Amino acid sequence: MHLIITEKHDAAKRIAAILSDNKLKRERLSGVDTYEFDDKTVMGLSGHIVEVDFPKEHNNWQKTDLRDLIHSKVETKPTQKNIVTALRKLGKEADRITIATDYDREGELIGVEALNIIKKVNPEIPADRVHYSTITKTDIIKAFSNPTKIDFNLAAAGESRQVIDLVWGAVLTRFVSLSAGRLGKMFLSVGRVQSPTLALIVNREKERDVFIPVPYWELYATLVNGGEFTAKHAKGRFLDLGEAETTKEKLGKTGAVKTVKLGKRSERAPTPFNTTEFLRAASAVGITASNAMRIAESLYINGFISYPRTDNTVYPASLDIKGIISSFLDTEFHKEAEKLLAGKLVPTRGKKETTDHPPIHPATPVKRSQLKDDQWKIYELVVRRFFATFAEPTEWETVAVTVDISGEDFRANGARLIEEGWRYYYSYNKPDDRLLPELREGQLLDVKEVELASKETQPPPRYGQGHLIKIMEELGLGTKSTRHETIAKLFSRAYVHGNPIQPTKTAYAVIEALEKYANTITKPEMTGKLEQDMDKIAEGAITEDYVVNESREMLDTVFKDLSKNQEGITDSLRAGLREDRIIGTCQKCSSDLIIRKSKKGSRFIGCSGYPDCEFSLPLPPKGQIVVTDKLCNEHGLYRIKIINKGKRPWDIGCPHCNFIEWQKKLEEGTVEKKEKVSRKKAGK
């Protein structure tokens, strides 16, 4: 029997259907669905079916010496026992194995993990590997007709990441959580990629905190004569109000066109989607990085788009570009497909060219009605970007006008789209025409209105998810496959909230303590070095053991700094964490209102003036509490959010307003039973 192993169940079902021409038989083994045809069995895993972990004796955080943990051996333990059992049974019967997991570092490791389990019951079984970038009939049949060897170096690189992240994460998280007294579900996670990423967010927020706005003024004139338009004083910003007012006062009622400069501007078509650019584009249309990747993976498994984890920005010569575009002739994209096919199909090229997977592109057409709204949004984004990469530049006609008003120059710029080019296919964030009336040099214009606008300089903007992923890529933080997961983890741990991303006081406390006493953890250099070394493992240049030992030595050095400064770290963390529990000021006694726990373990907002002041407000019993920087004007309390894993954040708003609203619902009898129970547990 020929056993074929895929990364996920859905991929197994689809690949089996393709290879068998839909003549497959489903068999259930140890609770796992498998698919049989022609003496072949296709079985899907569930991602990693084993995990790396420490021996049981290191499970107790408070009793484990963290120096021992740094150099502790790491064990591999099964996480999906039913899948492991099914693998063993099938592996005993098999006379050949084909690994058909996703072709990247993680997929190679998942395949090798499965192979190692089978080799324990069938040591001599031969194994090969197939590579594909789309789960389409053409690509799958081609892949299985040309099997290759398993890349054990690539798998070793993936395994080294698991071990390094386990050791660093466990040691640093335990140290910081124990120092802060935050154990259980409220522990403070720290990691070699997570912490430098969080530091980027916190330090950007600090720049905003210390930013002092500088006032300035801009002078605008509304001009009419055959058409109305607005021109801005050539000086741009006036930093002196007196100068701006004097300039305004001297302006007469007539201006003369001094210069008219006509020109053209071209916008080159965008480059093909790699993972980073795809996630940035998805973020720009309102889909978070983690959701965009989840949706893209679903579309890939169903054969609608190519593999979404890629660094490549150059289409390979083997890609059937004309065939893909032609497949859309009978879809709602038929006009776009016809227009492209009528011209030369020469794509743009990005800076990165790799040989593992092509840039993200559509694989097969699908109807809008077959997908959910967000799925269609992502699919359409991929289709339109693919089409745009073959299009002509967008052409703009530009005009720059200078108008003299009483010896003062005012300028206006216009732009008119004259050739849509690639924007016909990819219309996201398309700028509008800025039209000016037809003007000639020497023409007199009436000054209808003059406005002196008061403005001030703005702080540096917070990071959006797409921008942050781009910076992480530039700094070597994480990989194309893990960056969105790192950001999602920061949200789930209540270190950040909102979009653009804003850090909580807890994030401040953790980063400030680490930067002061062990700032290596918050810098990208060491993590970047380890990422480069993992790439070298994949290339066969160095061994997994060498890199893992090197990382342990790095961590040893970091831990010495932490241990030496434990008292200062504890004080710093606890002071910062207390600040993150402050909701506002008690209107009864002016003491701080703080998030507290009752003797029974329920959470509530209580007055720090207790027992003299007994004012309190209830809180939901579950979820991470995020205190935002938005104040309720009526009660002077910070608005709060509740984060539960796998659910959308619950924006409670002002806890006092929320409580009043709940009491109102109680009186009206409109409170649902579930909410009553929840409030009762919260202590009200």
Catalytic positions are 307
Q: Cα 646 from chain centroid? A: 15
Residue 143: count other Cβ atoms within 10 Å of its Cβ: 21
From residue 331, how far is each of 119, 361, 367 by CA, in Å? 48, 16, 7
The DSSP-derived string for 222-267 is: EEESSSEEEEEETT--BS-HHHHHHHHHH--SEEEEEEEEEEEEEE
Contact 154, 538 (CB under 8 A): yes
Residues sharing a CB contact under 8 Å with residue 120, sequence separation 6 or more, in sequence order: 88
Nearest to 479 by CA among 170, 109, 161: 161
Contact 219, 412 (CB under 8 A): no
Contact 101, 70 (CB under 8 A): no
Dist. CA 159–CA 116, nearest whole Å: 13
Task: Name the residue type at position 578.
Answer: R
Task: Name the residue type at position 536.
Answer: K
Nearest to 493 by CA among 477, 506, 502: 506
Asked if the bond preceding 196 is cis, omega within 30° of 0, the reply is no
Task: Name the residue type at position 672.
Answer: E
Residues sharing a CB contact under 8 Å with residue 610, sequence separation 6 or more, in sequence order: none
Contact 480, 309 (CB under 8 A): yes
SS3 content of the chain, % helix, strand, coil (to 5): 40, 20, 35
From residue 313, how far is each of 141, 317, 363 by CA, in Å? 25, 13, 17
Query: Which contacts of 140-144 are long-range, i.e. CB under 8 A and separated by 24 or more positions?
Result: 140/15, 140/18, 140/19, 141/18, 141/19, 143/100, 144/19, 144/98, 144/100
Task: Name the residue type at position 482.
Answer: T
Rounded to the nearest 10°, the torsion over CA 198, 199, 201, 202 is: 110
